[in-house]
Amino acid sequence: MTKKESGGFAGLFAEYEARAGKKSRAVRTGDTVVGTVVAIGSDAVFVGLGGKSEGVIERAELITKDGELTVQVGDTVKAHVVAIRDGQVVLRTRLGGGDDALAELGQAKDSGAPVIGRVTGVNKGGVEVEIGSVRAFCPISQLEAGFVEDAQAYVGRDLEFRVTQLERGQRDGEHGERANVVLSRRAHLEAERMRMAAELRAGLSVGMTVRGSITRVKDFGAFVDLGGIEGLVHVSEIGFARVGHPSEALSVGDVVEAQITKIEPSLDPKKPDRISLSVKALSTDPLVEATGKLARGSRHQGKVVRLEPFGAIVAIEGGVEGLVHVSELASDRRVRHARDVVNIGQDVEVVVLEVDPTRRRISLSMKQVAAQREAADVAAYQRPGSASLGTFGDLLGKKLRRS
């Protein structure tokens, strides 16, 4: 026996307490914790829990059938907090597998700690589970967070459950004490999800970039699963281009990156905080990139993307959209509606009239295209040496000379 294994439970714990100093114990009964073995005694193993507290596990729990200790100083162990007595955090690595299985399951029920059981069969309304020497029952509605169609697929699997009901019965000399034990895996999964969500929420802040998958698409935006907690991308924050409905840009299952723009704490403990996200915030405004090319009077190729009573919306450089007002659609007639001149999807040529980056508005004209072409034709006609028909007098003189 080594020096670290010598001494009784009380002496070794006192020695460890003196070495570790007084520390605040943040753990609570029912928690699942991960710690490091810091000392081993003759009847107990001491576990450091990240400087927050210290726990103790009965040595017998960590010994194999052959009497071999399964851990040594420095090893990492996962355990459940079953009690806190006089400042000591009592841990168990397994519940329901000891000499008094029902007492351990009672501890698990009171503390909320999960138990591990093997699904051994399917019966009417649920599955049979063995936890050590105890037979228990889990209703099929409590087997999964969602609907379970075929419980047979769970037979033979070791799963974690919460004990929701435990009624000790009369002792049977042949089979020992009988009990009615009801389990819920769904409660365990939901508790784990809430724990993970709380840990995740604690690490979130405005301005942070997060990654998640689309879970729901609504008229007003899309919900993103960030790993146990949801955020909302409002339709106005999907992109710089106008989106009529979120489904035009996003689908359930899509993985997106977004920036957290707002976190509104919930006043209802049963409801999560509201987290607002923006996909647009992580992309470059195409208007900024295109501004240098959109000088007043410049001509561009574009495509009609929408028609409104007041004009046509045309996508030009890099997908930037501008408005051709009805008054700028044609020069040879009065236009009452954009559809009288152009169609959605039609390729058109436009002239930039004005760019307003602040209001993110671009005014375009199709009428000015024709005006520019006419001006170019006049300029070409007036250039020295250009081929032209000449004046009326020149033409009359040529005709007289030929006659």
Instruction: Flag whether 210 is in a domain.
Output: yes
| Entry pTM | 0.52
Residue 72, domain member (yes or no): yes
Same domain, 278 and 311: no
117 in a domain, yes or no? yes
Number of structural domains in the chain: 4
pLDDT tens digits for 65-121? Answer: 788 888 899 998 888 787 777 777 888 776 655 556 787 788 788 878 788 889 999
* Of 252, 282, 312, the domain-final residue: 282
* Domain of residue 256, residue span: 203-282
Q: With CA atoms as reference, report the closest residue to 16 among 84, 85, 70, 87.
A: 87
Are residues 118 and 152 both part of a single domain? Answer: yes
Q: Are residues 138 and 79 part of one domain?
A: no
* Residue 294 and residue 359 in one domain: yes
Per-residue pLDDT, 49: 84
Alpha-carbon distance 153 to 171, whole Å?
Answer: 34
Q: Where is 151: in which H helix or E strand?
A: none
Same structural domain for residues 35 and 77?
yes
Q: Which CATH number is 220's domain given?
A: 2.40.50.140
Q: Are 165 and 130 in contact (CB under 8 A)?
A: no
Q: Is the pLDDT of residue 307 over 50?
A: yes
- Examine residue 47 and state whether it is found in any structural domain, yes or no: yes
Residues 278, 295 share a domain: no
User: Is residue 392 one of the residues assigned to a domain?
Assistant: no
The secondary structure element, H or E, covering residue 291 is none
Strand locations in 132-243 (E): 134-139, 158-172, 176-184, 209-218, 221-225, 230-234
What is the per-residue pLDDT across 203-238, written as a single tens digit (0 to 9) for each?
A: 899 999 999 999 999 999 999 999 888 999 999 899
pLDDT tens sequence across 35-53: 899 999 888 899 988 765 7
Structure confidence at residue 122 (pLDDT) = 94
In a domain, 401, yes or no: no
Give SS3 for 103. Answer: helix
Q: How far apart are CA 294 and CA 355, in angstroms?
A: 7
14 shares a domain with 56: yes
- If asked whether residues 300 and 373 sit together in one domain, one would say yes
CA distance 338 to 41: 87
pLDDT tens digit string along 315-328? 887 678 889 999 99
| Rounded Cα gap, residues 268 and 272, in angstroms | 8
- Claim to verify: residue 378 and residue 354 sit in the same structural domain: yes
- Per-residue pLDDT of 229-278, as tens digits, reads 899 999 989 988 778 899 989 999 999 999 999 999 888 877 788 999 99
